[in-house]
Amino acid sequence: MVTWNNLDTLASYQELKDTAKVNLAEVMTGENGAERVKNYSIPMAAGFTYNYAAKAVDDNVLAALVKLADEAQLADKFKELYNGAVINTGENRLVLHHMTRGQLGDAVTADGVDKRAFYVEQQNRIADFANKVHAGEITNAAGEKFTTVVQIGIGGSDLGPRAMYLALENWAKKNNTFKMEAKFISNVDPDDAAAVLNSIDVAHSIFVLVSKSGTTLETLTNESFVKDALKNAGLNPSNHMIAVTSETSPLAKSDDYLAAFFMDDYIGGRYSSTSAVGGAVLSLAFGPEVFADFLDGAAEEDKLAANDDVMKNAAMLDALIGVYERNVLGYPSTAVLPYSQALSRFPAHLQQLDMESNGKSVNRFGDPINYVTGPVIFGEPGTNGQHSFYQLLHQGTDIVPLQFVGYKNSQIGTDVDIQGSTSQQKLCANVAAQIVAFACGKADENRNKNFEGGRPSSIIIGDQVNPKSMGALLAHFENKVMFQGFLWNINSFDQEGVQLGKVLAKRVLAHETDGALKVFSDLLNI
């Protein structure tokens, strides 16, 4: 039987706190370091490997983490989740994003519907629609093909799909699967929508409006912005727009849209890239087959995350080490550092995924907790980040754990050989050097040039950024965040902290303000 207990009540957590700390610089130096790199590694899906040699762990710490995983029942809790238990206690909902890419356990029925069948149905409907758009069977009023797709959404309806699109755009062009250019409108700032609309031919554009409730203020405001532009161009908006929404929303059966594809309340926005939220825009941009490969990669990684052996479960071990760093070692933030320009917006997606999920100070029952939870997540692709904030990472007063992502091969394959090495080799050389530099440091009598080392990192190594590998990478981090929420005994699947600002913003717009809120409103000329 699964029990939900606060982290600080677990005997294994106390044991973990008492376990001797590891001198990372020492264990990563010389042959010891070489052996760690060879042995501290776990295979992942889609050709990835999770290597944690440069984390401040040893066999003793790992043994304590395994005990913690067992006592916290991480594997059992995941099983309950994918078998349809009400895991989202704040909203009394199931959590079913895994079901969008496969079925790990039992059939799950909710609202009288087999949910796996429902998600497959929506994927098939999207695939049929996308194929008809690409074939010219669905066109604009003049009978001309659509050439651009624009997603209108915010938060999880934007960050994940945008990150995935940018990650795969060049791959698709190289592999002749690029169908339509994709653009994204998210910010309610009118300059965002105006800039996108000025960059496209609206007559040949199809717009995807994403709002689960059909009432999201920012998204509906941007929809009106787009509709106004279409009308000003002499076009009927209903010929250019589709909706991704819930079946019960006002958008679901509206004549304002060419089609509506459905999501449900069991998938949070930040977990929705593998649902219709990502499916519509990515299938239109790259073709349904590419999106299907993306889902396959995620499904493969989910299967590995269901393994109850911690040392064969990269997502679970990554989560455990992260909690060790946060709660025992006291590190307040984590940097995500992909050494691929294709992943330029992936850290931004992970910011939402992690901080919206685990930025909580009460447990899943609403009781205050006495320990820290989710870290601050930030990041930037290498090598740009090296010339930005790595100074603080190397020599700052806070130790910041690092999560590198690196690839053996580039996407496009175009490269040059300069001074005996290619650009891709130089990129990979930089990430390898940074891992060792952070871990081992460098002694120097000049304190300004002295590097203490002891800065922990892991790296996920893959062959290439492609649809399957992106699905696997996304699923890894989704599952890591989930396992950490289980460990902290918090609800990783609601986001009440986002709602307060929305409520107050509506009050401001209705001029129902007083005190500081009224003065700020006046200062901003609202």
User: Would you list the DSSP string of 26-53?
Assistant: HHTSHHHHHHHHHHSEEE-GGG-EEE-T
Q: Which of 21, 231, 408, 502 is catalytic?
A: 502
Q: Which of 218, 223, 325, 356 is catalytic?
A: 356
| 231 noted as active-site residue | no
How long, in residues, is the chain?
A: 526
CA 486 to chain CA centroid, Å, is: 18
Token pair, residue 134, equals 């690409």
- Strands 49-51, 457-462: parallel, antiparallel or unpaired by DSSP? antiparallel
Token pair, residue 56, equals 């401040």
Residue type, 250: P
Q: Which residues, 6 or more positions from 153, have their beta carbon under 8 angstroms from its beta carbon?
A: 161, 184, 186, 208, 209, 210, 211, 216, 219, 277
DSSP 8-state symbol, 19: S
The neighbour count for residue 145, using CB atoms within 10 Å, is 14
* Enclosing H/E stretch for 148: strand 148-152
Q: Which residues, 6 or more positions from 414, have their beta carbon under 8 angstroms from its beta carbon?
A: none
Q: Are 140 and 240 in contact (CB under 8 A)?
A: yes
pLDDT at 311: 98
Domains of the chain, with CATH numbers?
A: 115-293 (3.40.50.10490), 497-526 (no CATH)
pLDDT at 114: 98
From first to last of its 526 residues, the chain has per-residue pLDDT tens of 999 999 999 999 999 999 999 999 999 999 999 999 999 999 999 999 999 999 999 999 999 999 999 999 999 999 999 999 999 999 999 999 999 999 999 999 999 999 999 999 999 999 999 999 999 999 999 999 999 999 999 999 999 999 999 999 999 999 999 999 999 999 999 999 999 999 999 999 999 999 988 888 888 899 999 999 999 999 999 999 999 999 999 999 899 999 999 999 999 999 999 999 999 999 999 999 999 999 999 999 999 999 999 999 999 999 999 999 999 999 999 999 999 999 999 999 999 999 999 999 999 999 999 999 999 999 999 999 999 999 999 999 999 999 999 999 999 999 999 999 999 999 999 999 999 999 999 999 999 999 999 999 999 999 999 999 999 999 999 999 999 999 999 999 998 877 777 788 888 888 988 898 898 988 989 9
| 134 noted as active-site residue | no
Q: Are 152 and 219 in contact (CB under 8 A)?
A: yes
pLDDT at 95: 98
Q: Which of 38, 173, 312, 387 is catalytic?
A: 387
Phi, psi of 150 (to 5 degrees): -125, 120
| 502 noted as active-site residue | yes
- Strands 49-51, 41-43: parallel, antiparallel or unpaired by DSSP? antiparallel
Q: Which of 324, 325, 304, 326 is nearest to 315 (CA)?
A: 304
Token pair, residue 428, equals 């990979």
The neighbour count for residue 64, using CB atoms within 10 Å, is 22
Read off the pTM. 0.97
State the number of CA atoms in the 13 A half-sphere of 179 facing the CB: 25
